[in-house]
């Protein structure tokens, strides 16, 4: 367990994907680098880039991937060696498959119809069943990632179809779960979004081509203009002549992942018509209406609770003030997960502004409580600094159920709300009161967008298997 995990006590997304086609035959690796850097919050385990030259020899794809952050895996010399005007990139946080170089993406290979590279965000819930079927037909696997299952399904279908798009269209009908795919064959960039729309994917226009990305903030990072979100079940193909759209034959009622709006997505992104900042501020306003209390200041846990805290302050009329100073330069040191070291890790990342806190009644906002360890430590820090009261408000409902679609939700026993009532949690973390966002307020938070909230209510939009 690393320091990041100890201090944040957060859920994690699986991956971020990025793809670009440049019609003026400009090398795209630097653009992919900047796009992936803006998606770094979605995964910090590994990073990879695969590119090809649409004017070069048939089947040319060059690639590099490695463990670590984008800036650790790629340097100028490495980027300069990746020549091509068409490419995809990936940042990974694993929920399926171990953290190792074999599971880093994109996956690149040669098959009967040429070469293919694929990057994937999400989780294929029937991957083990599909993997067994492929292995029974002689397929040899080199990783434990469900992405390799998707890769081989597409390659198998392509061997007897007239185009890679049609191969993908057939292959994805076999998949269950949430996923966003970016794929390159030597002349095409293809994006796919699962029929539920669980995983995000959007389309942008650059100065000389088109871009696909998990979030709109990655488009902004390279100066591209947002066009639209890829629709649930849509397959979009980009070539030198522009883009075209198709749909997989499996259709469902959309169920966009609510936790993108609560925590995963970057604050400056827009997703399925909803500005992320607006959704989080609205959650804070809804909390203030549901759980008002007399206090002196409203504050948020950096950085996950800050926007909701501002919304709470605006709605309640109680002044907003920071109570923590965040240290952003602690690195990624590995330490043992003892309770004492957890406390030290929290103090290393966040220090209390004593003069702001002393004698004050504080409303402290965060986006979630998963295990409760970090929140308990923060409350102790505030009370040791002289806080008179600490009232905790959470801008999501209690986590009660696992996620099967690519969010790293712990097992039931590790979820504090699964084992304890809100009153018991309040006592365990040392808060003076505790209030969660009401389940019915989630829809208002995202202006009625159809959402998946199964981690809160257990109502899964699709059978996991």
Closest CA to 119 of 56, 32, 55, 230: 32
Which residues have C-beta within 8 Å of that of residue 270, sequence separation ≥ 6?
A: 216, 226, 276
**CA-CA-CA-CA torsion sign (308, 309, 311, 316):** positive
* Burial grade of 463 (CB within 10 A; 0-12, 13-18, 19 or more): exposed
**Tokens in use for 330?**
């602690």
C-alpha to C-alpha distance for 269 and 280, rounded to whole angstroms: 12
Find residue 334's DSSP bridge partners: 2
Q: What is the DSSP letter of 249?
A: S
Catalytic annotation, pick one of 15, 52, 217, 257 = 15
The tally of CA atoms less than 13 A away on the side-chain side of residue 464 is 13
Give a three-class secondary structure readout of 9-31: CCCCCCEEEEEEEECCCCCCHHH
Peptide bond into 303 cis (omega under 30): yes
| DSSP 8-class letter at 393 | E
Dihedral (C-alpha) 401, 403, 456, 229: value to the nearest 10 degrees? -170
CB contact set of 241 (below 8 Å; sequence gap of 6+): none
Question: In whole angstroms, what is the distance from residue 1 CA to residue 178 CA?
Answer: 26
Task: From 313, 258, 257, select the one nearest 284 (Cα to Cα).
Answer: 313
For residue 197, give both structure tokens.
Answer: 């729309």
How far apart, in whole angstroms, are the C-alpha atoms of residue 322 and residue 378? 13
**Six token digits for residue 27:** 């090398």
DSSP secondary structure string, 192-222? EE-TT--S--EEEEETTEEEEESSHHHHHHT
Instruction: Tell me whether residue 257 is one of the annotated catalytic residues.
Output: no
Rounded CA gap, 453 and 336, in Å?
A: 33
Residues marked active site are found at 15
């Amino acid at each position: 367990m690393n320091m990041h995990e100890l201090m944040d006590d957060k859920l994690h997304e699986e991956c971020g994907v990025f793809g670009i086609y440049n019609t003026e035959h400009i090398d795209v690796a630097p653009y992919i680098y900047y796009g992936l850097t803006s998606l770094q919050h979605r995964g910090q385990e590994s990073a990879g880039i695969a590119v090809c030259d649409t004017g070069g020899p048939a089947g040319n794809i060059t690639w590099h991937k490695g463990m670590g952050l984008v800036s650790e895996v790629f340097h100028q010399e490495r980027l300069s060696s990746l020549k091509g005007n068409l490419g995809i990139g990936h940042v990974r946080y694993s929920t399926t498959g171990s953290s190792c170089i074999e599971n880093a993406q994109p996956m690149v290979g040669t098959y009967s119809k040429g070469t293919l590279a694929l990057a994937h965000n999400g989780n294929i819930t029937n991957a083990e069943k599909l993997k067994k079927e492929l292995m029974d037909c002689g397929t040899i696997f080199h990783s434990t990632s469900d992405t390799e299952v998707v890769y081989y399904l597409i390659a198998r279908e392509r061997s007897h179809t007239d185009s890679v798009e049609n191969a993908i269209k057939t292959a994805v009908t076999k998949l269950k779960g949430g996923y966003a795919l970016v794929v390159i064959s030597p002349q095409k960039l293809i994006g796919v979004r699962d029929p539920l729309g669980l995983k995000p994917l959007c389309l942008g226009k650059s100065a000389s081509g088109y871009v696909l990305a998990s979030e709109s903030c990655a488009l902004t990072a390279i100066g591209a203009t947002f066009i639209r979100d890829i629709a649930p079940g849509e397959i979009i193909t980009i070539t030198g002549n522009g883009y075209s759209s198709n749909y997989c034959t499996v259709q469902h009622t959309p169920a966009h992942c609510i936790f993108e709006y609560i925590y995963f997505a970057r604050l400056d992104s827009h997703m399925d018509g909803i500005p992320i900042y607006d959704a989080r501020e609205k959650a804070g306003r809804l909390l203030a209406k549901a759980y008002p209390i007399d206090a002196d200041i409203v504050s948020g846990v950096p950085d996950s609770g800050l926007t909701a805290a501002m919304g709470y302050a605006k709605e309640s009329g109680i002044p907003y003030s920071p109570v923590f100073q965040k240290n952003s330069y602690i690195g990624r040191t590995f330490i043992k997960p003892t309770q004492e070291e957890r406390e030290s890790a929290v103090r290393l990342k966040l220090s209390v502004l004593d003069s702001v806190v002393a004698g004050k009644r504080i409303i402290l906002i965060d986006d979630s409580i998963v295990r409760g360890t970090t929140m308990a430590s923060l409350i102790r820090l505030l009370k040791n600094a002289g806080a008179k009261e600490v009232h905790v408000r959470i801008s999501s409902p209690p986590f009660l159920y696992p996620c099967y679609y690519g969010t790293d939700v712990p097992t039931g026993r590790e979820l504090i709300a699964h084992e304890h009532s809100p009153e018991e949690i309040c006592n365990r973390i040392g808060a003076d009161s505790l209030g969660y966002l009401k389940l019915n307020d989630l829809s208002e938070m995202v202006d009625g967008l159809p959402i998946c909230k199964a981690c809160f209510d257990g109502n899964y939009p699709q059978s996991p298997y």
